[in-house]
Amino acid sequence: MSERKPGIFRRIFGFINKLASVLRTLISLLFLIIVVVIIASLFQEDIQPMPEKAALRVAPSGVIVEQKTYVDPVTQLFQQSANQDAETLLSDLITTISRAADDDRITSMVLELDQLAGGGISKLEEIGQALETFKDSGKPIIAVGDNFTQDQYYLASYADEIHLNPMGAVILTGYGSYPSYLAEALEKLKVNVNVFRVGEYKDAIEPFIRNDMSEASREHTLEWLNTLWDIYTSRIENLRNIPSDAINDYVNNLGDKLVQYNGDSARLALEMGFVDQLSTRPDMLEELRSQAGAKNHNSYQYIDFQTYLAYSKRTQVLQSTTGQDRIGLIVAKGAILEGEQPRGTIGGDTLTALFQQARQDDKIKALVLRVDSPGGSAFASDVIRQEIANTRQQGIPVIVSMGSLAASGGYWISANADQVWATPTTLTGSIGVFGLVPTFEDSLTAIGINSDGVGTTRLADIYQLDRPMSEQAKQIVQLNVDSIYDRFLSLVAEGRNSTPEEIHKIAQGRVWSGLKAREIGLIDELGTLEDAINAAAKLVNLEEFELKTITKPLNIYEQLMLELANGGVRLPFAGPRNGLLPPALVSELKPLIEKLDFIGKLNDPRGVYAHCLICAAP
C-alpha cells in the first residue's frame, strides 16, 4: 500500500517550521558575522600615529549638510558609504580646518573638490571663513580639479593656487529659480485645487494655480537671487584679484569668448585669471609631491580630513575637563512635520524632546539652535516655539543660528530667541501661511466614478476628497489660515520688539536674504555658527566652555551598529562605494526629491502650513 500523504494543515505547519528554522539559521549567521567583526577589530593594530608632517587633504563628497539624513544602522553597516558619500557634515569640515590651522604637523591643505555636489552659498561662506583662518596661519592652500562647478569653484577661489585639468572647465551659470507650474495640467486632469493663503508674496501655492510666475513673485525672487549672486561674484573677484564684473562678463558672453579660444574652456579659464595653471593628473600629483612631500611614487604625503578629525576628537576626549560648563547645540534641519521624525527632518515632538533633554543637564548654561529649514507644519512649528519659550523661562538663553534656510516655519521657530544670527546669504522671512486642498470629483466623474450619500451635518463630507468643498468648508479653512497668519505676525512682533502692523509690511510671504533681513530687523547679527556659539557664551559670562551637541540617545543595539558602520569596518559583501549618479546631477535632483518627499509627508492636523516651497538655497 502507498504511504498516505500528510494532510494540508500538517504540510502548512511543516513548511512554517522549516521556514522558521531557516530564519533562525540566518539570524545566527548574521550574529556570528557581527561577533567575528567585533573580535577582529579588537585585535587590529592600534591607530597609526599622526605623520610628523603632512598636507591636509580636504575632499568633501556629495552635498554639504547641517545634519546627515537618518539611515538605519544595519543598512549603513551593509551598504556603508552610500549615505556617507552622499552627504558631508558642515561642522566636520569647519572643525577640521580650524584645528589644522594651529597644528604644526599640518603643513598645507589640498582641496580636491571633484566629488562635491553642492550645499548652498551660505554653507560655503562658513567654510570659506575657516579657509581664511587656515591661510592666516601662513600655510598654503592648493585646489586641484578635473572641472569646477559653481559651488566647487567658490571654495577653490580661497586657494593660493588653482590647478585645472587641460580637458576641464570652470562651469559658472549664475543663480536662478524656475519652478514648474501645474495649473494647466491639473485642469486637464480635472483636479480642483482649493487654495487658501495670506500675503501677496506667498508664492508657495502659485505652481498649483498658475502657468507662470506672478509679477510679485518675480520681483522678490529676483531681488534675493541678485543679492546672493552679487555676494558670490564679488567674493571671488576679490579673492582672485580679477576685475569687477569679470564673472558676469564670463557667464553672459561665454559663447563669444569660447570662439576666441576654439572652444577650449580650460584655456579660457586660465586667460580670465580663474585658475593659475592647467595641469594633467600626473602634473598635479608631481606638484603636490614637490610641495607636501612624496609618500610613494603614486601619492603625496597627506592625511584625509575625516582621519584627521578622528584623531583630533580622540585627543579632545583625552584632554577634556570634567565638570566644565557647557553650551548646548541643537540642530533643526529639514522640513517641519508633526510628531517624531528621523534625522534630516524636524519633528515637533522630536525637537521638543531635545530641549527637554538639554534642560536636564545642569552644566548647560545656554543653547544654540542651528536652523536650516524651509518650514512646514504650522502646528509643529508652534509646538517647537513653545518649547523654546519654556526653556528661556527656566533661565537658559536660546540663540538661533540660521544656516542656508530659515524661512516660514523655520523663521516661526526662530523669532522669539534671545538673539538671532544669520549669514549674509541665508534665506529667511517668508512670513506667511497657506492651505491647499485638492479635490478629485471631476477627475473621478470623467471615468465613471461618482460620490453620493447622506450626512447628519453640513460638514459631514468636509474630508471627502472625491466631493467638492462646500462654501462653508472653504470659509472655515480660510479663516484658519487668516487666524494663524495673525498669530504668526504677533509672535514675530513680540520677538522682534515691533508691532503686527509693522511686521505685516515686510511679511506676506516675502523672502529676504540675511543681509537684508538685518536691515529690516528680522535678525540681530550677521555671523557664522561659531559666532553664535561665542555670543551664547558671552551672554552667560563663560570664558571657557565645552560645546555639547544634543542628540537623541541611541540604545545599545543602535550604538553597536553605528560604531561598526562609522568605525571603518566594512563587510565583504557591502555595496560599492561609488554612486551611480554624478555629484552634479545629485545636487540638481536633491531639492526636487526633498519637495516631493515633504508633500508626501504632510501631516498638520489642520492642514495649514508655513512652508516656503519656492525657497531653494543656491
Q: Could you tell me which residues come within 8 angstroms of residue 178 by beta carbon, excluding any fewer than 6 positions away? A: none
**Burial status of residue 419 (CB atoms within 10 A of its CB: 0-12, 13-18, 19 or more):** middle
Annotated catalytic residue: which of 202, 333, 365, 516? 202
408 labelled catalytic: yes
Distances in Å between the Cα of 444 and the Cα atoms of 189, 222, 436, 439, 471 are: 10, 40, 19, 10, 21
Using alpha carbons, select from 63, 61, 163, 153 the residue that is nearest to residue 110: 163
202 labelled catalytic: yes
Buried b or exposed e, range 495-524, using 16+ CB within 10 angstroms: bbebebeebbebbbbbbbbbbbbbebebbb
Instruction: Please give the helix or strand (H or E) that residue 598 lies within, else none.
Output: helix 583-600
- Measured distance CA(493)–CA(415) in Å, rounded: 9
Per-residue DSSP letter, 300 = E
- Measured distance CA(587)–CA(592) in Å, rounded: 10
Residue for grid cell 508691532 = 499
* DSSP reduced 3-state for 533: helix
Phi-psi region of 97 (alpha: psi -120 to 50; beta: other; left: phi over 0): alpha
Instruction: Please give the helix or strand (H or E) that residue 182 lies within, else none.
Output: none
Other Cβ atoms within 10 Å of 291 Cβ, number: 16
- Measured distance CA(252)–CA(249) in Å, rounded: 5
Query: What is the SS3 string spanning 243-280?
Result: CCCHHHHHHHCHHHHHHHCCCCHHHHHHHCCCCCEECC
Distances in Å between the Cα of 248 and the Cα atoms of 226, 251, 265, 494 are: 12, 5, 16, 42
- Measured distance CA(486)–CA(80) in Å, rounded: 47
* C-beta pairs of 218-223 under 8 Å, 24+ apart in sequence: 220/510, 220/511, 221/177, 221/511, 221/614, 223/516
Per-residue DSSP letter, 543 = S
- Measured distance CA(526)–CA(543) in Å, rounded: 22
- Sign of the CA dihedral with 347 first, then 217, 594, and 419 last: negative
Annotated catalytic residue: which of 91, 217, 404, 408? 408
Catalytically annotated residues: 202, 408
